[in-house]
Structure 1
Amino acid sequence: MTEVLFYHLERRPLEAVLPTLLEKCLERDWKVVVQGGSEERLQSVDAHLWTYRDDSFLPHGSTGDGDAELQPIYLTTGPDNPNGAAVRFLIDGAEPPDLIDYQRAIFIFDGRDETAVGQARNHWKTARAAGHTVTYWQQNEAGRWEQKA
């Protein structure tokens, strides 16, 4: 079964959290798909991954870039997985495809947005009902992740 993780953002925004999590995936030689809730948001993530640090960037691409199967990180708004990713990130209310083909699925949601919290609860219930291993992570006062469930 797929390991499904829920990251509840409270202290730091997606732009601060996502690159670090993506770096950890690439360190493990995992290909990744990042599925966003809108094309506009993905364009913002795309630009951020090239510039989030002065000394580094995260290699990635999307539909318009070609050679999708070669991309270590692929950005999409749909259920596609053209790079054969083992890990799927779901941000900004993206509706997940069937998660059975992934090693990990990671939902990142804004804890200050009641709609996002409600969606995360529904995805939690669906993932548990499907038999996936589900964990919930929340930021502490220092901004570090603590497993809460």
Structure 2
Amino acid sequence: MAEILFYHHTERRLEDTLPPLLERSLERGWRVAVEMRDADLMEKLDQHLWTYREDSFLPHGTEAAPSPEAQPVLLTTSPENRNRADVRFLVGGAAAENVDAYQRLVFLFDGLDPDQVEHARGEWKRLKAAGHQLTYWQQNAQGRWEKKA
């Protein structure tokens, strides 16, 4: 059964919060998919992941690039697991499908966006009712994650 985590970011933007989580996933040897509903957000994240740090970049591609199946981190608007990801990040209101196909699902949602908060609550209730074990993490004022549930 997949480990399911909810990350509620309030102190930093998605663009600042997501890259370190992706780096940790790659360090563990996991392949990663990042699913979102909005193609504009996908393009924004694609550009950001190449330049967010001066001393490195995060190897990734989008579903529109050649060979999406070869990407260690795949940005996508599709629920398909085209790169055989071990962990799937769901951002911008993406919903979990095929939960048990992953070692880990991570919902990353903006606490300042009421629609994202409501969507995360709905996904929490749905997955909890289906018998999944869930954990909830919230950013503190320093931007660190604190386990709340």
TM-score tier, shorter chain, comes to over 0.9
Secondary structure class of the residue paired with 1:33: strand
Q: Which amino acid aligns with 2:3?
A: E
Which residue number corresponds to residue 29 of structure 1? 29
Q: What's the CA shift for 1:147?
A: 0.2
Q: What's the CA shift for 1:64?
A: 2.4
Secondary structure class of the residue paired with 2:100: coil
Q: What's the CA shift for 1:7?
A: 0.6
Secondary structure class of the residue paired with 2:64: helix
Question: Does residue 136 in structure 1 map to residue 136 in structure 2?
Answer: yes
How well do the aligned residues superpose, as a CA RMSD in angstroms? 0.9
Q: What's the CA shift for 1:114?
A: 1.3
Listed one character per residue, the Cα deviations across residues 85-115 of structure 1 (whole Å, up to 9, x for unaligned) are 0100000111222211110000011111111
Mapping of residues 48-59 of structure 1, within 5 Å: 48-59=48-59
Unmatched 5+ residue regions in structure 2?
Answer: none
Listed one character per residue, the Cα deviations across residues 23-72 of structure 1 (whole Å, up to 9, x for unaligned) are 00000010000001200000000000000000111111122222222110
Q: Which amino acid aligns with 2:22?
A: L
Question: Does residue 148 in structure 1 map to residue 148 in structure 2?
Answer: yes
Q: Which amino acid aligns with 1:82?
A: R
Question: Does residue 40 in structure 1 map to residue 40 in structure 2?
Answer: yes
Q: What CA distance in whole angstroms lies between the structure 1 residues aligned with 2:58 and 2:130?
A: 32
Question: Does residue 108 in structure 1 map to residue 104 in structure 2?
Answer: no
Q: Which amino acid aligns with 1:69?
A: E
Unmatched 5+ residue regions in structure 1?
Answer: none
Question: Does residue 6 in structure 1 map to residue 6 in structure 2?
Answer: yes
Which residue number corresponds to residue 121 of structure 1? 121
Q: What's the CA shift for 1:77?
A: 0.6
Which residue number corresponds to residue 68 of structure 2? 68
TM-score (norm 1): 0.96
Secondary structure class of the residue paired with 1:119: helix
Q: What CA distance in whole angstroms lies between the structure 2 residues aligned with 1:54 and 1:141?
A: 25
Q: What's the CA shift for 1:130?
A: 2.1
Secondary structure class of the residue paired with 1:30: coil
> What is the percentage of aligned positions where both structures have the same residue?
53
Q: Which amino acid aligns with 1:130?
A: A
Q: What CA distance in whole angstroms lies between the structure 2 residues aligned with 1:64 and 1:117?
A: 29
